[in-house]
Amino acid sequence: MDMVNERFFAYYKAQNIVPEENWSAFLAAIRSHLPTTFRVAGSRQTATTLNAAIQEIHVPALSNIDFEEQRIPPPVQLPWYPDGLAWQFNVPKKILRKQPEFKKFHSFLVHETETGNISRQEAVSMLPPLFLDVQPHHKVIDMCAAPGSKTAQLLEALHAQDTATATSIPSGLLIANDNDHKRTHLLIHQSARLPSPALMVTNLDASNYPSIKISQPTKTEGSKLGTLQFDRILCDVPCSGDGTIRKNIGIWKSWQPGDGNGLHGLQVRILQRAMNLLTRDGRIVYSTCSLNPVENEAVIAEALKLNPAFQLVDASSMLPELKRCSGLTTWRPSVDKVSMKSYGSYQEFQASDLDPNLKAKLNEGHFPPDEAEALNLPFCMRIYPHLQDSGGFFVAVLERKDRLLGPETQIREKKREAAPSCPGPEAKRPRLEDGAELGSSREATAAILEEGPSEVDTTPVDVAAIDETKTADSVTSDQGGRTKTEIAKSSGNESFKENPYTFLSPDDYILISCIERLKLRADFPSSNVLVRNPEGEPSRSLYLANDLVKNIIQHNDYARLRLTFAGTKILSKQEGGKGVDAQFRILGEGLPVVLPYLDPSSVISGDLASLKTMIKSYYPLCSSFEDPFKSTIENKENGTLIVKFLPEKTDNGSLTHELVLPLWKSNVSICLMIDKKAKSAMSSRLFGQDISPAGRKEEGLE
Ligand SMILES: C[S@@+](CC[C@H](N)C(=O)[O-])C[C@H]1O[C@@H](n2cnc3c(N)ncnc32)[C@H](O)[C@@H]1O
């Protein structure tokens, strides 16, 4: 492919995005292959252990490797990422497939990605959540969240107090929102790897995000209904995406100077809405993967002019190792595909002899404001590909000016620009970070699934529960006696087809039987257990939400919020468990959440030899285990069991920290209730190879 686009060159030279002397370095970088980057995810404790394994086992094994007479550099840590938890390597696919050590490392990455311990994410895309600085008590909203790579980082920050085996229940909240319904489901699928009782997913237009009611305690009246305001808001808005040109090389051909013009209005409205949803001491991070000032500084400037209570934050002392350039104070929008002419001011644009139809495509907000310096636009951050061999990116941090002053004052809701909620005719479809264009969700889904989430193991696991949300059309009623269709109509949401969430009574006999079976302690938050079906019956899956999520669900119409997901699934009905007292089984993703409430006597001890047997076969016979594990399971009642493995060394690997897993016991066999990809990853890590049935099949051994 010819990596040439004269319009692109002329436009960005006119913007002066980099000094003349750096232009050739910029050009060389955007024409070169983008290195692979990944982040060690999950709880801090697991992350540190896995990171140590990369440092102490993989990097030494990958050092001093020659391929076709060339020295291949090993992975290196991104210097700016906290605790060295993000890595970069630049090795051609051919080497990853053929060179034995790199092949081994690649399959380690694939396995760990599938289990959620590693997130393959562009380096620059990791930045916005870091600048947002989320704490476990924060109320956070990710306004344009799908497919969810930054949502995952935000969730991890909320869960900073998790341990290797147990999930904390943060007091804060994360709402992940996206207006594309299919993409919200992709996000939900991804976030199953990071189960959180503090997560809600909504499917709304961020530029018009509704006020959410919550019950707040008062000094005198007990409690009253108020409006939820967020401590942290991420606006990773839809954009033209030319910063991803190294990865999405089609941009070389398709790029036009007007690509960002039609998105500007929507971007301003999303940021403005965020400003109105922010608590006084809160913080907003606005980001795009576009280099275009019309989608970046122009949006910030316009939003600041409309909301003078806000200011840009000087974030130069945050992530000091990150190389960045200052935001622009002047730029030259263009609507011209032919002569490549651009204009330094709105006045100059209006005075030009352009066709009136073209003149209608830009308004004053697209152009640099007179007060660019006073607005501190240089505090915006531009990350260019040549600075540290990354993609191109833009980040700005905003806070309220009066954040440290006196009592809170509600900012006046500005009248929003009467612009259409869709980008204007000039607008191309916004490019999404994963490379797909908005609207082509099927391709986006396929692309992401290829890289990311693991399949559900349909053999022993939960197919029924997956279908649960698809029964939404059934005509049944909510607590107010309205049918789902009526609720949807009343909310102007005819097309919304998700099921409502209903909290179970702590006296519900199924809930009580699960609690008794698992011997959950009295402090288990049983009043926060909810189900997701129109009848409000515990017929399939039980979810757990934290207090804030419960508060929101109870005080808002779920259809108005287009609530697509909430909390985390902890228990599911085991169809094969008929005749067993408690037919519910604990889920792999729910176990870390429930673990802190389990009575130690309900957890059995296992050893790695037994684990090997459980991984090798789907339903190993109880009699195939060695004692003492054999007699332990033989003496247990049928149904859900939890098994704990202590750190131990094996011939080809080691278990470095405690591991707790869910089992299901039938009359003569047991089954390890985890995803088949999680089994494969665990097997490779503990036994040096994938001994699971799926792994053996892949290797042609079965
Ligand atoms: C740049 S992508 C977000 C990437 C995401 N933050 C991540 O890190 O995975 C922009 C997202 O905005 C969504 N979007 C577009 N218009 C929107 C709107 N008006 N309200 C909410 N989301 C919108 C798109 O569906 C897309 O998923």
Annotated ligand binding at 178? The verdict is: yes
Whole-angstrom distance, CA of residue 120 vs CA of residue 9: 30
Between the two ends of the chain, the Cα-to-Cα distance in Å is 42
The pLDDT score that the predictor gives to residue 576 is 56
For residue 290 and ligand 1, the question of a CB distance below 6 A is answered with no
For residue 273 and ligand 1, the question of a CB distance below 6 A is answered with no
- Dist. CA 14 → ligand 1 center (Å): 29
Which residue in 671, 684, 541, 566 sits closest to 115, CA to CA?
Answer: 684
Of the candidates 289, 380, 514, 622, the residue annotated as catalytic is: 289
Q: Which residue shows structure tokens 């909620």?
A: 421
What does the DSSP 8-state code read for residue 477? B
The pLDDT tens digits for 96-131 are: 888 899 988 988 888 888 778 899 999 999 999 999
Q: Which residue shows structure tokens 């709402």?
A: 175
Question: What is the rounded average pLDDT of the residues 397-404?
Answer: 89
For residue 268 and ligand 1, the question of a CB distance below 6 A is answered with no
Whole-angstrom distance, CA of residue 511 vs CA of residue 523: 14
| Token output for 410 | 């509600």
Q: Which residue shows structure tokens 């941009």?
A: 251
Active site residue 380: no
Annotated ligand binding at 61? The verdict is: no
Residue 506: left (phi > 0), alpha (psi -120 to 50), or beta? alpha
Whole-angstrom distance, CA of residue 235 vs CA of residue 208: 13
- Dist. CA 140 → ligand 1 center (Å): 16
Question: What is the rounded average pLDDT of the residues 140-158?
Answer: 96
Whole-angstrom distance, CA of residue 168 vs CA of residue 175: 18
Contacts of 562 (CB under 8 A, 6+ apart): 202, 203, 204, 493, 496, 498
For residue 265 and ligand 1, the question of a CB distance below 6 A is answered with no
Amino acid at 582: A
Most confident residue range from 239-243, 336-340, 491-495: 239-243
- What is the band of 461 on the pLDDT scale with cuts at 50, 70, 90? very low
For residue 263 and ligand 1, the question of a CB distance below 6 A is answered with no
ipTM for the predicted complex comes to 1.00
Question: What is the rounded average pLDDT of the residues 624-634?
Answer: 94
The pLDDT tens digits for 568-612 are: 999 998 775 455 455 788 888 888 889 889 888 889 999 999 999
| Token output for 111 | 């396995």
- The atom number, within ligand 1, closest to the CA of 431 reads 1
- What is the band of 648 on the pLDDT scale with cuts at 50, 70, 90? confident
pTM: 0.86
529-531: strand order across its sheet: 502-503, 529-531, 541-544, 568-573, 584-586
The pLDDT score that the predictor gives to residue 96 is 86
The dihedral built from the CA positions of residue 236, 237, 238 and 243, taken in this order, carries a sign that is negative
Whole-angstrom distance, CA of residue 382 vs CA of residue 291: 8
- The atom number, within ligand 1, closest to the CA of 180 reads 25
Annotated ligand binding at 607? The verdict is: no
Annotated ligand binding at 236? The verdict is: yes
Question: What is the rounded average pLDDT of the residues 160-170?
Answer: 80
- What is the band of 444 on the pLDDT scale with cuts at 50, 70, 90? very low
Bigger pLDDT: 471 vs 261: 261
